């Protein structure tokens, strides 16, 4: 079998939203491919954040002599894929092209309209891409033979005969921090007006801690892509990665990337205890649910270095509860209690609020935002985007509307209401984070460098 050269790339696009954790998939896949015996070299390029010109992208494709180009996809940005594929076919005609990511993990058929050779569907990305690379090396691309991978052979697409594989957590490859463009991440997180997940003025280390989630929100891709069972890296894996990464580069805090971080209470408690034993010197943040928190756990998290807890409040209106999983149907009392626990623990409460959730009005969303702010919390709003409406027949323009920022047709038909809805997501933010100062206190660094413009 020949030694293969692979490019793993996030193609050029203007991002609707930036979460460094979503971009980790590029480096996890690259690390996994480097362990495959048939692979000689793996290059990476996150062109969505490094902002190369098309000439520079073309240089990489033409000079790289790649056998496989693995292209990430996300819930947004499909409208820019065609141009990249044109460049790839012209400048790397010998390369086979495969796509993987959150959107193809949910709806692989959407990508059959594009000039690709393979599409990785539901399941972990790494084994799907690796199976395709292996088949390219063997010269055997046979319909239905690769688990979880759609193949185009003789101009026709065929679905996989078996579902995609999932890896045990011990087989995950933690991203190589030496190849991640943190300077670009810092720039994207610089201004809290963007309401992104990062902390302005502070260098973030993303730690992939868990995959899968049993909660079952219909606007979340995790169960469809990674399954409902919760899979977790061991506490030892996580702590070792944090310590090695902080020794290698000037990180200032940790972002744990897990669908529901505190779902496994015993695991969370043990991790916090390990961090306390190390002097709680690594400030960190996470995302979870109100349901999976209590006063004792929040206090322990605060002692171990937690500076921000993000939760999916979504709505405080009972009229919207039918659109939520049962365990997420929380009222004001539950959020008030959580806000008090966080305040006592020195932790910022960050609440996700959905505008346009079925059964709710713009006034309901405004009320939720106002209540969270009155409790001292930060708000990160998004538009409702039901994934069940995604289908292969949608135009690229229609697909691009499912970016959790633009209202779907028919939502809030009254123009004044639509503008109020957009003001929640795009209006000037007057309640900016102070958690960058908390990171500074934890780390004992110099003056805060946040952007509160």
Q: What is the pLDDT of residue 263?
A: 98
Question: What's the pLDDT at 218?
Answer: 87
Instruction: Give the per-residue pLDDT at 222.
Output: 94
Specify the CATH number of the domain 189-443: 3.20.20.70
CA–CA distance from 45 to each of 112, 121, 424, 435 (Å)? 24, 22, 34, 31
Q: What is the CATH number of domain 4-158?
A: 3.40.50.2300
* Three-state DSSP state, 232: strand
CA-wise closest residue to 354 among 394, 391, 400, 323: 323
SS (H, E, C) 172-225: CCCCCHHHCCHHHHHHHCCEHHHCCCCCCCCCEEEEECEECCCCCCCCCCHHHH
Tokens, residue 53: 């010109």
Bridging pattern class, strands 348-355 and 284-288: unpaired
Contact present, 421 and 384 (Cβ < 8 Å): no
pLDDT value at position 400?
81
pLDDT reported for residue 445: 44
pTM of the model: 0.94
Residue intervals of the chain classified under CATH 3.20.20.70 are: 189-443
**pLDDT tens-digit profile of 283-331?**
999 999 999 999 999 999 999 999 999 999 999 999 999 999 999 999 9
Instruction: Give the pLDDT confidence score for residue 387 in this predicted structure.
Output: 80
Indicate where the chain has its CATH 3.40.50.2300 domain(s). Answer: 4-158
Half-sphere exposure for 428 (CA within 13 Å, toward CB): 3
> Cβ distance 228 to 242 under 8 Å?
no
Beta strands per DSSP E along 109-165: 118-120, 149-153, 156-158
Residue 386 pLDDT: 79
Per-residue pLDDT of the chain (453 residues; tens, 9 = 90+): 679 999 999 999 999 999 999 999 999 999 999 999 999 999 999 999 999 999 999 999 999 999 999 999 998 888 889 999 999 999 999 999 999 999 999 999 999 999 999 999 999 999 999 999 999 999 989 988 999 999 999 999 999 989 999 999 999 999 999 999 999 999 999 999 999 999 999 999 999 999 999 999 988 999 999 999 999 999 999 999 999 999 999 999 999 999 999 999 999 999 999 999 999 999 999 999 999 999 999 999 999 999 999 999 999 999 999 999 999 999 999 999 999 999 999 999 999 999 999 999 999 999 999 999 999 999 999 999 878 888 888 888 888 888 889 887 678 999 999 999 999 999 998 899 999 999 988 886 433 344 444
Comparing C-alpha atoms, which of 287, 257, 359 is closest to residue 317? 359
**Chain segment 166-220, per-residue pLDDT in tens:** 999 999 999 999 999 999 999 999 999 999 999 999 999 999 999 999 999 988 9
Partners of 149 in the beta sheet?
120
Please provide residue 153's backbone torsions phi and psi, each rounded to the nearest 5 degrees.
-130, 135
């Amino acid at each position: 079998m020949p030694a293969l050269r692979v490019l793993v790339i996030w193609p050029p696009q203007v991002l609707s939203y930036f979460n460094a954790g979503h971009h980790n998939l590029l480096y996890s896949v690259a690390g996994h491919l480097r362990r495959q015996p048939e692979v000689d070299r793996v290059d990476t390029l996150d062109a969505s954040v490094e902002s190369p010109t098309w000439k520079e992208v073309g240089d990489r494709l033409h000079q790289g002599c790649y056998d496989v180009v693995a292209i990430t996809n996300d819930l947004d940005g499909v409208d820019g894929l065609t141009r990249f594929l044109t460049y790839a076919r012209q400048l790397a005609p010998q390369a086979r092209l495969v796509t993987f990511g959150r959107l193809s993990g949910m709806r692989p058929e959407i990508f059959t309209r594009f000039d690709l050779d393979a599409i990785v569907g539901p399941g972990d990305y790494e084994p799907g891409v690796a199976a395709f690379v292996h088949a390219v090396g063997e010269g055997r691309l046979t319909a239905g033979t690769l688990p979880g991978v759609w193949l185009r052979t003789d101009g026709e697409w065929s679905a996989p005969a078996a579902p995609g594989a999932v890896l045990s957590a011990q087989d995950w490859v933690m991203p190589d921090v030496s190849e991640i463009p943190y300077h670009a991440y810092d720039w994207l997180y610089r201004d809290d007006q963007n309401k992104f997940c990062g902390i302005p003025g502070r260098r973030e280390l993303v730690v992939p801690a868990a995959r899968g989630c049993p909660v079952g929100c219909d606007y979340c891709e995790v169960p469809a892509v990674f399954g409902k069972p919760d899979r977790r890296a061991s506490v030892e894996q996580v702590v070792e990665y944090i310590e090695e990464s902080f020794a290698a580069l000037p990180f200032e805090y940790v972002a744990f990337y897990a669908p529901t971080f505190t779902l496994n209470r015993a695991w969370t408690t043990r991790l916090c205890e390990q961090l306390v034993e190390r002097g709680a010197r690594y400030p960190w943040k996470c995302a979870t649910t109100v349901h999976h928190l209590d006063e004792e756990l929040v206090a322990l998290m605060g002692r171990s270095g937690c500076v921000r807890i993000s939760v999916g409040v979504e709505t405080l209106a009972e009229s919207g509860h039918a659109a939520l999983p049962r365990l997420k149907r929380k009222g004001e009392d539950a959020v008030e209690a959580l806000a008090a626990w966080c305040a006592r623990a020195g932790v910022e409460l960050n609440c996700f609020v959905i505008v346009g959730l079925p059964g709710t009005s713009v006034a309901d969303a405004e009320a939720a935002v106002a209540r969270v702010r009155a409790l001292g919390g930060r708000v990160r709003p998004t538009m409702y985007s039901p994934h069940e409406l995604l289908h292969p027949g949608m135009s690229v323009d229609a697909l691009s509307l499912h970016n959790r920022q633009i209202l779907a047709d028919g939502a809030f038909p009254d123009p004044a209401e639509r503008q109020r809805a957009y003001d929640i997501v795009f209006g000037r933010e007057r309640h900016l984070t102070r958690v960058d100062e908390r990171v500074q206190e934890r780390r004992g660094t110099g003056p805060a460098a946040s952007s509160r413009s």
